Structure 1
Amino acid sequence: MGTTNIYAQVASTLRDKAAFSASFKVMIAIAALLCLIFLMGRLNLYLKFTDEVAQLFSDSKDISSQKFTAKQLDGLPDPVQKYFRHVLNEGQPYISNVHLVHNGLFKTDLKKDWIKISGEEYFTADKPGFVWKGKTTAFTARDMFINGNGRLVVSLFSLFTIQNQTGEKFDKGELMRWLGESVCFPTNLLPSQHLRWLPIDDNSAKLEFDYGDLAVSFTVIFDAQHQIAELRTLRHMGDGPRQPWVTKVSHYKSWNGVLIPTVLEAGWEIEKKYLPYARFAIQELTYNEGF
């Protein structure tokens, strides 16, 4: 092989290496940019969540000076009285606000497989409200009821908003979620000017709640241990018609002196078949700490 050919091959190899090096640097730069955009998206969602929680707490009053007494149970349906005596102690302070952290499983569609999810949620009691943020590897969802307005926002990879749903159906649906999840802070289920318990039978009762122009209700089913086991109602499935919506709660544990369920499952009943789509297990929970 001649000297000229050797030089040509060396030059070609160096050019290929230079081209590869340049391409590699471009790929690294693109990857770094995408990571930065993703992190900025995460930060943006975090700031929105923080702002929504601050808004939730801004009009909330501290009601922890109120105490539960057994006299409040006079006239309530028998299974309801047994429930409160089981989960609350005499003199239990009312719970003004709640912060909980959970993990669990979720379905984005009833026909799809379960995926892992982690979540964080804040509740207020005096003024009905909550803000929830759930994260999976693919999306972040924020569900909320603030100042009488319900809203669901879903972001893909923390960047692209693929759902932003509001309106009367969501106002009522999110108020239902707040009321159903009040099993995690049961002083919120004590009778008041907005909340009523009506008798059904020895193992169930009707729970009614009104707030402004909104009125929601559940059929509440109690187990043999006098614990709430299931809450049933009719709820709009997204923008569609109302369907039976079921919340099942279990694995009760004493938390901060209050007996509450630590596993909550939600599902739809379609053609008499129960189809769960969310199953959460509480990992952390605090009461009356503010924000």
Structure 2
Amino acid sequence: MLIRKIFIIITGIVFIFGLLGWLGLQIQPQSFPAYSANKTQQRETISLPGGLPKPVEHFYRVLYGDEIPVIKSVVIQGRGIIKPFMNIPIPVRFIFVHNAGKDYRHYFEATLFGIPVIKLNEGYIDEKSFFISPWGSYYDKPNANQGANLVVWAEAILFPSLWITDQRVHWEPVNDNTALLYVPYEDGEENFIVRFNPLTGKIDMMESMRYREIEQGQPKILWITRSEESSTINDTDIRVTISVEWLDQGEPWAYFNIEEQDINIDVTEMLNEAAIFKPFTKAN
């Protein structure tokens, strides 16, 4: 009887803590305050170039028309969920900072009951990746560098004029709804398979082969970025929810809901080498 009572008590305690944890994960954090920098947002444009694959040209005409904006930097803020452990959805708020086509920095706050409990800092500066977390950090790992470089270009799904205005990028046709996007990496190139929606002309998903593990000798895995929903930010119809998935996991491990996007503002302070190794404070 004593053993049974002890078992019941332990089970009850585990259940209560599990329930509290579940409840805490149902509460979304508050958004970061709106970015308060001086938003000049100069509107330089170029004409849509000729010779693009058919679905690519249609995509840009639907999105921008004949004039393509030149976007040199972006600050993106929002909220979402990540599932890094046992497929448990954890609420996060995030800031993505891009020196478009070159560098980026991600800052995440994972929350419980809406309160930040874990802070993550990662990115790619001067062709070197970094990851800083409470359970470990790394810097300039070759496999991570390859993956981070793909992120530079994949997240441009939120500001896709970059794939036209950056002269290092080029497109190749596949069929009426698919094209290959080639982007620079070190002394060569990487590529994405970009699939367009046949009804809307917009991007449904992007696929590329990426290293998930930072240890040498590990294989690349198909990495998928999907557009989930569409809305208007900065007078441009863009996808404002994106998901990220590894093929072998069978479903997205992260959903990012974009709530603010500021373009062509000074991001130097947020991307300098000293800043990346301390907590993000610009928008707090």
User: TM-score under structure 2 normalisation?
Assistant: 0.72
**Residue of structure 2 equivalent to 1:253:** 231
Q: What is the aligned counterpart of 1:234 among 209, 221, 224?
A: 209
**Residue of structure 1 equivalent to 2:59:** 83
Q: Partners in 2 of 1:217 and 1:139 — Cα distance?
A: 33
Q: Partners in 2 of 1:204 and 1:99 — Cα distance?
A: 29
Q: Given the superposition, is the C-alpha separation of residues 284 and 63 from structure 1 closer, same or farther in structure 2, using an over 3 Å criterion?
A: closer
**Residue of structure 2 equivalent to 1:153:** 132
Structure 1 residue 104, shift from structure 2 partner:
0.5
Q: Partners in 2 of 1:101 and 1:185 — Cα distance?
A: 14
Q: Which secondary structure state, in structure 2, belongs to the residue aligned with residue 79 of structure 1?
A: helix
Q: Which secondary structure state, in structure 1, belongs to the residue aligned with residue 75 of structure 2?
A: strand
Structure number, greater radius of gyration: 1
Q: What is the aligned counterpart of 2:99 among 110, 113, 124?
A: 124
Q: Partners in 2 of 1:145 and 1:201 — Cα distance?
A: 33
Residue identity matched to 2:98: F
Q: What is the root-mean-square deviation of aligned Cα atoms in Å?
A: 2.1
Tell me the alpha carbon deviations over residues 241-290 of structure 1, each in whole angstroms, 9 at most, x when there is no partner: 211111111322221122211001001111xx623111010011111122
Give the percent of matched residue pairs that are identical in Structure 1 and Structure 2: 21
Q: Partners in 2 of 1:105 and 1:179 — Cα distance?
A: 22
Structure 1 residue 148, shift from structure 2 partner:
1.1
Structure 1 residue 237, shift from structure 2 partner:
1.2
Q: Partners in 2 of 1:63 and 1:213 — Cα distance?
A: 32
**Residue of structure 2 equivalent to 1:205:** 179
Q: Does the 8 Å contact 1:194/1:211 carry over to 2?
A: no
Q: Does the 8 Å contact 2:78/2:94 carry over to 1?
A: yes
Residue identity matched to 1:135: E
**Residue of structure 1 equivalent to 2:260:** 284
Q: In structure 1, list runs of 5 or more residues that go unmatched.
A: 1-61, 156-160
Tell me the alpha carbon deviations over residues 110-144 of structure 1, each in whole angstroms, 9 at most, x when there is no partner: x331111110111112x511111011134211121
Structure 1 residue 64, shift from structure 2 partner:
5.5
Residue identity matched to 1:225: T
What does residue range 58-207 of structure 1 map to in structure 2 within 5 Å?
66-70=44-48, 72=49, 74-109=50-85, 111-125=86-100, 127-137=101-111, 138-155=117-134, 161-190=135-164, 192-207=166-181
Q: Partners in 2 of 1:212 and 1:177 — Cα distance?
A: 15
Q: In structure 2, list runs of 5 or more residues that go unmatched.
A: 1-39, 112-116, 268-284
Q: Given the superposition, is the C-alpha separation of residues 208 and 148 from structure 1 closer, same or farther in structure 2, using an over 3 Å criterion?
A: same
Q: How many residues align?
A: 219
Q: Partners in 2 of 1:133 and 1:279 — Cα distance?
A: 15
**Residue of structure 1 equivalent to 2:246:** 268
User: TM-score under structure 1 normalisation?
Assistant: 0.70
Q: Does the 8 Å contact 2:77/2:95 carry over to 1?
A: yes
Higher relative contact order (Cα pairs below 8 Å, separated by 6+ residues):
2
Structure 1 residue 226, shift from structure 2 partner:
0.6
**Residue of structure 2 equivalent to 1:27:** none
Q: Partners in 2 of 1:264 and 1:92 — Cα distance?
A: 22
Structure number with the higher helix fraction is: 1
Moved more, 237-246 or 88-97: 88-97
Residue identity matched to 2:226: K
